[in-house]
Amino acid sequence: MKHSKEPKALIEAIRYFSDPDICLQFLIPIVWPEGVTCPHCQAKGAHFIATRRIWRCKNRHDKQQFSIKVDTIFEDSPIPLDKWMVATWMIANCKNGISSCEVAKDLGITQKSAWFMLHRVRLAMHTGSFRKFGGNGGEVEADETFIGGKARNMHKSVKARRITGQGHNNIDKVIVMGVLERGGHVRA
Q: Does residue 170 carry a pLDDT above 70?
A: no
* Strand, coil or helix: 186: strand
Kindly state the average pLDDT of the residues 152-163: 74
Amino acid 136: pLDDT: 54
Q: Let me know how long the chain is.
A: 188
Query: What's the confidence (pLDDT) of residue 114?
Result: 94
17 and 69 housed in the same domain: yes
Residue 68 lies in a domain: yes
110 and 37 in a single domain? The answer is yes
User: Rounded to whole angstroms, what are the CA distances from 9 to 30, 31, 49, 58, 169?
Assistant: 22, 24, 32, 41, 51
* Higher-pLDDT residue of 124, 161: 124
pLDDT in tens, 17-70: 999 999 999 999 988 888 898 888 888 888 898 899 999 998 888 888 889 998
User: What distance in Å separates the CA atoms of residue 126 and residue 107, rounded to the nearest whole number?
Assistant: 23
Residue 1's pLDDT band, with cuts at 50, 70 and 90, is very low
Instruction: Write out the residue range of the structural domain in which residue 146 sits.
Output: 140-187
Q: Does 121 share its domain with 145?
A: no
Helix locations, the chain, DSSP H: 10-16, 20-31, 81-93, 100-107, 111-127, 156-162
169 versus 22: the higher-pLDDT residue is 22
Higher pLDDT, 112 or 140: 112
Q: Is residue 33 part of a domain?
A: yes
Q: Residue 137 pLDDT more than 50?
A: yes
pLDDT of 131 higher than 50: yes
- Residue 125: is its pLDDT beyond 60? yes
The total number of structural domains in the chain stands at 2
Residue that wins the pLDDT comparison between 113 and 159: 113
How confident is the model over 78-90, as a mean pLDDT?
A: 92
The residue-averaged pLDDT of 163-185 equals 62
Looking at the fold, whether 57 and 80 belong to one and the same domain comes out as: yes
What are 140-155's pLDDT values in tens digits? Answer: 667 777 676 666 777 8
One domain for residues 25 and 113: yes
- What is the reported pLDDT for 63? 83
Same domain for 98 and 149, yes or no, is no
Ranking 7-11, 20-24, 65-69, 176-180 by mean pLDDT, the lowest is 176-180
Run of H or E residues at 163: none
Based on the domain organization, do 114 and 54 belong to the same domain? yes
Do residue 28 and residue 79 come from a single domain?
Answer: yes
120 and 162 in a single domain? The answer is: no
Residues 70 and 39: beta-carbon distance below 8 Å = yes
